Structure 1
């Protein structure tokens, strides 16, 4: 029998159909939810199409992922939670006036997600959602979702320019970081978060695509220079669906600034950054090595050669199911395109081992499923020579060398 890989997607998305969130809301919000739902117009075509059921149809989802060679998944949000104008990833922090209802909506999603994950024991690690407006509320929810069995950790939103909440480096968020470290809850920061709102203008939309990942990257240096990793050495921080090729260059840049901050006090860098750097005992690249992981969704062929600079033990592959830019139903081909010439031991780490370490998947329990559905080692070792017809993921795009931020 051929040896097969266990493949865990560290980046998938799910959510309830709009009205299916209703049973998970507190009773005092039901009348407002009914009025909101009657007036709501879904802005996302993919959530109104027949395939939208992939977000909440557990049996269909398991079957499609298994056919794609994937045996377990980390589940980020996708559909629109109650009282939100759009998906929560890109909605941004609410005003204080909107906070109560949106917070109720996110808690309803977290309750739904716990039930959804329980339908496939050991095969789903659900990522709970929080808000930054009231850090004490967020810390309470972190404790609750951990007790409810959500093992995917918590999704910390970014802070766009002009947001009604402080930047991520602010000490006001200390209750959140402390709760995550105390309860061993991974902190996830997903691409799309922290960017300014979309504008219905061709140039603005094009600029958004260019800049959206960079706005998510900002969380890394905010947490480093905000001293979060210094104060919480056991905190696990995952940067998901933001690419991976930017990491080596950015770490070099952050280390450069750190050295300047700690160097000659007469320099401009030291005058600006010295007080923050003096509180740090490690360099930025050392904090990354200790505290950070990469949800390297559909890692592209030009990124794979950087794996040793990033850290083979830091990279977690993801399919981005069920998004159009995801690799489904060609995940096996995507793995061949990027990992054909990689040592199988390294592939085992990036395909499953690292995700198991971060999110608590039991590889031994997943092994029988992988023996039925996982891709064979020799299959992945065969270079992909032709892109599947209809494949839309960036992993299949012609290789273009782009300079990382």
Structure 2
């Protein structure tokens, strides 16, 4: 019997005119727009170029037919052995870089209203994540409250905050953590969101930039643990996407080492060891991370979840079965642990009431 597989990190491609048509009239001339020439693809908004990428085939030899259409998406999922997905935006990942409070809030509202409606017929297959504005924490709190009332089961905040926004170790964020904790709604830190993603150019830049993009969520987890934010809100869970899972062990061990050594300087004092906070309140999704599986006993296998990053080039589609097999190859692991990592832990976290395998084929 094939285990239930939930990709905790998958993306939908929004309709090209989503924001241009649905934003308030006064903001539409600054809405997200995309274009491309023979060499590059661009996303522009608010008079800025927010993304510039070399034009590629976008599929690396494996066409993804379900970027937008749900029926075609389910066909790709069955082909790949994936039974459910947590859904994040594509263009909408750039909202923290709009640099305008009203435009950012309205753009989040437009996406959140659209994506929930788009996937509403399949609540046990798709879990859309709300996106929150961060130019104003007050707006983030208000939008999260609205999204909770709409039935959202998770929400995304930037992995790397814009420089003008208070960092995650500021108690200014406590109002947001309180809403999320009260709703038992996990907060997602996704790689490559918030700050500039092109940090290096020249030799090795493609690899270096991808590696650095994952640092945002990792650093943010450290801020949330060390500042006592997670300790103050024990019902709050945060999860990181697209930066692997092995970092959790390193982070837990170094913070456990430094906490007692520097206890005289530590503010605030924590009620639990950093490793205990991480084990109880942090989860990390991976696609390729054998070392995380091999060392799962450091923090417990419940910290680990699987993701395909569909339909992105670095994702595992259409080879997720092979990738899963490689992650567990020659590792002594129980079937229950394996099932938890591949989908059951995430199903519980994201409120999938009836996790079902789409097909055994």
Smaller-chain TM-score bracket: 0.7 to 0.9
* Alignment CA distance shift 1:275-1:303 (3 Å): closer
- Answering whether residue 355 of structure 2 is matched by residue 366 of structure 1, we say yes
Measured in 1, the distance between the counterparts of 2:303 and 2:101 equals: 35
Q: Is the 8 A contact 2:58 2:312 kept in 1?
A: no
2:13 is matched with 15
1:189 is matched with 189
Matches within 5 A, 1:2-401: 3-30=1-28, 32-33=30-31, 37=33, 41-42=42-43, 43-44=52-53, 45=55, 54-78=66-90, 80-81=91-92, 87-88=93-94, 92-95=96-99, 98-151=100-153, 153-159=154-160, 163-193=163-193, 196-199=196-199, 201-203=201-203, 205-262=206-263, 265=264, 270=265, 274-276=266-268, 278=269, 280-296=270-286, 298-340=287-329, 341=331, 342-362=333-353, 365-367=354-356, 370=357, 373-374=359-360
1:388 is matched with none
Question: Could you say what secondary structure the match of 1:238 adopts?
Answer: strand
Measured in 1, the distance between the counterparts of 2:281 and 2:138 equals: 23
2:39 is matched with none
- Please report how far the alpha carbon of residue 125 of structure 1 lies from its aligned counterpart in structure 2 after TM superposition: 0.8
Encode CA deviations 1:244-272: one digit per residue, 9 max, x unaligned. Answer: 2222122110111111232xx4xxxx3xx
Q: Which runs of 5+ in 1 are unaligned?
A: 82-86, 376-405
Deviates more, 1:207-216 or 1:62-71: 207-216
Q: Is the 8 A contact 1:254 1:284 kept in 2?
A: yes
* Alignment CA distance shift 1:134-1:228 (3 Å): same
Q: Is the 8 A contact 2:123 2:352 kept in 1?
A: no
- Please report how far the alpha carbon of residue 28 of structure 1 lies from its aligned counterpart in structure 2 after TM superposition: 4.3
- Please report how far the alpha carbon of residue 242 of structure 1 lies from its aligned counterpart in structure 2 after TM superposition: 0.9
Measured in 2, the distance between the counterparts of 1:244 and 1:288 equals: 12
* Alignment CA distance shift 1:172-1:128 (3 Å): same
* Alignment CA distance shift 1:107-1:47 (3 Å): farther
Question: Could you say what secondary structure the match of 1:74 adopts?
Answer: strand
Q: Is the 8 A contact 2:16 2:34 kept in 1?
A: no
Encode CA deviations 1:8-67: one digit per residue, 9 max, x unaligned. Answer: 11111113122134454345434554xx64889443546988957633111111110122
Measured in 2, the distance between the counterparts of 1:106 and 1:327 equals: 28
Which structure shows the higher strand fraction? Answer: 2
Question: Could you say what secondary structure the match of 2:295 adopts?
Answer: helix
**What do you get for the CA RMSD once the two structures are aligned?**
2.6
2:46 is matched with none
Measured in 2, the distance between the counterparts of 1:195 and 1:257 equals: 28
Encode CA deviations 1:328-359: one digit per residue, 9 max, x unaligned. Answer: 11111111111244321111111111001110
Q: Is the 8 A contact 2:64 2:76 kept in 1?
A: no
Measured in 1, the distance between the counterparts of 2:254 and 2:34 equals: 50
Q: Is the 8 A contact 1:9 1:319 kept in 2?
A: yes
Question: Could you say what secondary structure the match of 2:10 adopts?
Answer: strand
Measured in 2, the distance between the counterparts of 1:329 and 1:312 equals: 26
2:49 is matched with none
- Across the two proteins, how many residue pairs are aligned to each other? 342
Q: Is the 8 A contact 1:21 1:112 kept in 2?
A: no
- Please report how far the alpha carbon of residue 170 of structure 1 lies from its aligned counterpart in structure 2 after TM superposition: 0.9
Question: Could you say what secondary structure the match of 1:11 adopts?
Answer: strand
* Alignment CA distance shift 1:15-1:24 (3 Å): farther
Deviates more, 1:112-121 or 1:227-236: 112-121
